[in-house]
């Protein structure tokens, strides 16, 4: 079995809990689909545990913002968090982020952070029209923070949802398991207050972390697939 995680976003308590659950399930091979950083304050801890465990990781759009110094074009809140992270991230972790690629084909799957037309920043709405034009049978990407498994046009697609900032109205961390032919989604509760305390200790107002208790974006928006 292979564990698939995505969109950690500096939420170390959530990542620790998900990795512990995967360990308890006997999963020894884990893939991260990107966005290790962005939003929450413990970016060094998140990078280091992935590096120390040699977890194969892709580059997400927030990883790219931090690695390149670019700003997020659509969120002042995201940019405020990135500004803090640029001050605290270690040189070693920043250099590691710069080495990551946004897409890969491994373990019989085609992987991307966003999608296959724009691996960094495409928000996928899975459909037969979209996947019928792509080579391959099994696909996985993150970015939307909304978990799903979709089957059609002879293809199977999985979004494992978000470890660190679920947006589907369920505050539990989300991840997926892949057995070579089938994706299964999982949720696990974690210590949300620990993540919120870390943000407060970093100087952020509760506005930046209250959404974690609700499973929404910062500001309260809930996302879903149509």
For the chain, state the CA radius of gyration.
16
Please give the structure tokens belonging to residue 126.
Answer: 């899975």
User: Is the CATH number of domain 2-213 3.40.630.30?
Assistant: no
| CB-CB contact of 44 with 72 (8 Å) | no
Quote the CA–CA distance of 91 and 82 in Å, as a whole number.
15
111, 31 in Cβ contact below 8 A? yes
Sequence-ordered list of residues with C-beta below 8 angstroms from that of 156, at least 6 positions apart, any chain: 137, 138, 139, 149, 150, 182, 183
Whole-model pTM? 0.97
User: Consecutive 10-residue runs of the chain (226 residues): their mean pLDDT?
Assistant: 97 98 96 98 98 98 97 94 98 98 96 97 95 95 98 95 98 97 97 98 97 96 83
Residue 112 pLDDT: 98
What are the sequence ranges of the domains in the chain?
A: 2-213
pLDDT for position 144: 97
Reported in sequence order, the residue ranges of the chain that DSSP labels E, i.e. its strands, are 2-5, 29-32, 56-57, 103-106, 109-112, 138-141, 148-152, 155-159, 173-178, 183-188
In the prediction, which pLDDT does 28 show? 86
């Amino acid at each position: 079995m292979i564990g698939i995680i995505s969109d950690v976003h500096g939420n170390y308590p959530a990542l620790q809990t998900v990795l512990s659950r995967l360990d308890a399930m006997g999963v020894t091979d884990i893939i991260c689909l990107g966005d290790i950083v962005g939003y929450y304050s413990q970016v060094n801890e998140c990078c280091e545990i992935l590096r120390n465990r040699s977890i194969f990781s892709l580059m997400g759009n927030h990883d790219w913002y931090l690695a390149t110094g670019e700003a997020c074009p659509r969120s002042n809140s995201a940019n405020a968090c990135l500004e803090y992270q640029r001050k605290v991230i270690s040189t070693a972790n920043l250099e590691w982020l710069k080495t990551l690629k946004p897409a890969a084909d491994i373990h019989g799957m085609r992987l991307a952070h966003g999608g296959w037309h724009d691996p960094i920043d495409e928000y996928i709405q899975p459909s037969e029209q979209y996947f019928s034009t792509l080579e391959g049978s099994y696909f996985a990407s993150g970015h939307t923070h909304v978990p799903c498994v979709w089957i059609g046009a002879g293809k199977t697609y999985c979004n494992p949802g978000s470890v660190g900032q679920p947006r589907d109205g369920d505050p539990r961390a989300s991840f997926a398991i892949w057995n070579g032919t089938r994706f299964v989604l999982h949720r696990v509760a974690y210590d949300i207050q620990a993540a919120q305390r870390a943000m407060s200790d970093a100087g952020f107002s509760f506005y930046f972390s209250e959404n974690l208790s609700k499973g929404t974006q910062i500001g309260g928006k809930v996302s879903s697939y149509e």
